[in-house]
Structure 1
Amino acid sequence: MKKTMIAGAVGALLAIGAGGAVAAPDWGKVGAKEITLFYPGVSPLEWIQKGTEHGGARALKKGETCADCHSEEASEMGKKMASGQKIEPTPIAGKAAFIPVKVQAAHDGENLYLRFSWKQPAASGAAKMDDKNPVKIAFMLESGGKVDLADQSGCWATCHQDSRTMPGADEAKTKYVKGGSLAEGKFYDLYQWRSGENKGFNGYVADKRVMEGGKALVSAEGKKDGDNWSVVFTRKLAGGEGDVALEAGKAYNFGFAIHDDSAAGRFHHVSLGYKLGIDADGDVKAAKQ
C-alpha cells in the first residue's frame, strides 16, 4: 500500500513538472458559453466595411460590434452563405452551415485554460483540402484594441480580400493586420490545434501570419468521443514576443474558428468577436480555480 501511494505521488509530481504540465480544472464545475460558429463565405474585412454590400457597415462606423447585430442570427447567416445564396461563388454541396460550440475558461493564477467542445457535423463528401488534418481549431487574442476594428469585428481584421483562397488572390499571401507590428503591439496572438498531427501551435498575426515562435502555449490536447470533440488549450498568463500578456481584472478581444471536414483557408467556420474576461466581465469568463 505504501509503495502504491508513493508511486502515485511521484507520478503526480512528474506530471506537474513534465514540460510545465499542470492539472486542468474540473470542467464539470466550470460554466459554459455556447457560441455559434458559421460559414462566412467570401466576407473579408473590406466587404463588411462596404455599405453598398453590407448593411451593417453604417453601424460599424458608429461603433457597434458585429456581435451586437448578428450574434442571434449566426446560424441563419451560415445557411445563406454555405448554400451559395449569398457571398459564396463556389458553394460546397453538403457543407455544414454552422457549428454550435461550448466554450469554457478558467485560470489558476499562472495558466489560462480554454476548452472547446462540439458535435462533429456530417461530412460533405467533398475533396479533402487538408488530408492530414480532418479538424483544426484556432483562437486569437488581441489586447487593448490597438488593431483597427478589433474591438468590433473580432478576427475579421486579419481577413482580407487579397489573402490566400479568396477569389483571384495570391495563394502565397497569408492573413495579416493592416499596419501590423509586433514592436508596436499591433497584432493578434494565435493558437491552433491540428487533429492529424495532434499538435498545438503558438504564433501571431501582424504584417503576416506566423504559426510558431510564441512562448505562452503549455499544451494543446484534443480527443473525439463518438461524434463529440473536445480540445483544451493551456497557456501561460505571461508570454513572450508575439504573445498577449494576460492579467486578472482585464478583458481581451477573442475569436475562434474550426476547420471542419478537412477544410483549409477561408473554408472554415468562424465566430464573431467576443470578450474573454480574466476575473473580469466578458462573454467568456475565466475565473480562478
Structure 2
Amino acid sequence: MKRTMIAGAVGAALALGAGAAVAAAPADWSKVASKDITLFYPGVSPLEWINKGTEHGGARALKKGETCADCHHEETADMGKKMASGQKIEPSPIPGKAAFIPVKVQAAHDGENLYLRFSWKQPAASGGAKMDDKNPVKIAFMLESGGKVELANQAGCWATCHADSRTMPGAAETKTKYVKGGSLAEGKFYDLHQWRSGEKKAYDGYVADKRVMEGGKALVSADGKQNGDTWTVVFARKFAGGEGDVALEAGKVYNFGFAIHDDSASGRFHHVSLGYKLGIDTKADITAAKQ
C-alpha cells in the first residue's frame, strides 16, 4: 500500500505492512531537544573482550555495575583513533578509515508513534574496499526493555557483539549477531531497525539467539537524505508492535544504542555508540517528549 508523504519530516514512507498507521513527525525539528553522541570505530572489541580484565581495564567497573558510558562518554573520539589506526585491538586497519562520527540525535512522539532523527556529516572516504557496494550508508538502532539481556543496562548493544560472529577474526561467515541465552518468549532480545541508503529500504527485526532482519510490525517508515555533506535519517515507529518488537510506554526508559555503516562498510567495520537510555516522557540520556 502507498503511504502519504509527510513534507519536511518523515518523507516518503515505506510500506512495511498492511494496516500500519501513517505517522506525522514533528514539522519543525529545530524545536526538539537534541543529544550529541559520538560514534567510534570499535575494532575487535566484542563482549568477551570487554569482560576480560587483563585486556580491558573497565571490566572491573562493569562488574561493579558501572556503565560503559560512565567511563567513556567523553573519550569515544580518542578511542576510535586508537582502533582505526591499528594502535589497539585492530589487526586489519583500513587506510583512511574515519575514527569517529559525531551524530545529533533527536526524539519525539505523538502518543502512538516514536520518531528518531539522526544527522551527521559524511566523513571522507577511506582507501579500503567497498564491502557493501549497494549501500554507501546504513544506519541501525536497537532497543531493549527491562535489562533482561545480560549487560544491556550497562553496555547497550555490546551484548549482541561476540568474538565468534561474522567478520570477527577467524569467525564463520554464517554466524550472525546474537544474545547469550536470547529468547523472544522470555523477553531476552533487542528490537532492531535499520535503513539502507542504496536500497532505500528499511528493515524491522530483532536479535535474540540469532539476528533476524525482517518480520517486525512496529516500524512505520524510515527516510534518509543527503544534503551536501550532511545525512539526515528519520525513523517512525509505533509504540505497539508484534513478535520481536519492544512495546513502548510513556514514563518508561529503554536501553538504546545505534550504529552507522559508513563508506560501504559491512559487519564489524562500522561506527558504534556506547549504551544510552531512551525515555518516553521521562528524563533519560535522550528523552522523547510528546509534540
Tell me if TM exceeds 0.5: yes
Aligned equivalent of 1:132, options 131, 134, 139 = 134
C-alpha distance in 1, partners of 2:228/2:216? 33
Task: Look up the match of 1:180.
Answer: 182
Compare CA radii of gyration and give the structure with the larger one.
1
1:170-217 superposed Cα distances (whole Å, 9 cap, x missing partner)? 110000000000000000000000000111100000000000000000
Task: Look up the match of 2:211.
Answer: 209
Q: What is the percentage of aligned positions where both structures have the same residue?
A: 83
1:22-43 superposed Cα distances (whole Å, 9 cap, x missing partner)? 2210211101100000000000
C-alpha distance in 2, partners of 1:179/1:33? 32
Total equivalences in the alignment: 278
Aligned equivalent of 1:35, options 34, 37, 51 = 37
Sort the Cα spacing of 1:18 and 1:223 in 2 relative to 1 into closer, same or farther, 3 A: farther
Aligned equivalent of 1:220, options 222, 234, 242 = 222
| 1:20 CA displacement | 2.5
| 1:11 CA displacement | 9.2
CA RMSD of aligned residues (A): 1.6
Tell me, yes or no, if structure 1 residue 86 matches structure 2 residue 84.
no
Task: Look up the match of 1:24.
Answer: 25
Task: Look up the match of 2:193.
Answer: 191
Alignment of 1:246-257 (within 5 A): 246-257=248-259
| Counterpart code for 2:134 | K
C-alpha distance in 1, partners of 2:96/2:151? 33
| Counterpart code for 2:190 | Y
C-alpha distance in 2, partners of 1:166/1:126? 17
| Counterpart code for 1:101 | V
| 1:125 CA displacement | 2.7
C-alpha distance in 1, partners of 2:267/2:154? 23
Task: Look up the match of 1:66.
Answer: 68
Unmatched 5+ residue regions in structure 1?
1-9
Aligned equivalent of 2:237, options 225, 235, 238 = 235
1:21-72 superposed Cα distances (whole Å, 9 cap, x missing partner)? 2221021110110000000000000000000000000000000000000000
C-alpha distance in 2, partners of 1:108/1:144? 23
| Counterpart code for 1:87 | I
Greater percentage in helix: 1
Unmatched 5+ residue regions in structure 2?
7-11
C-alpha distance in 1, partners of 2:244/2:177? 15
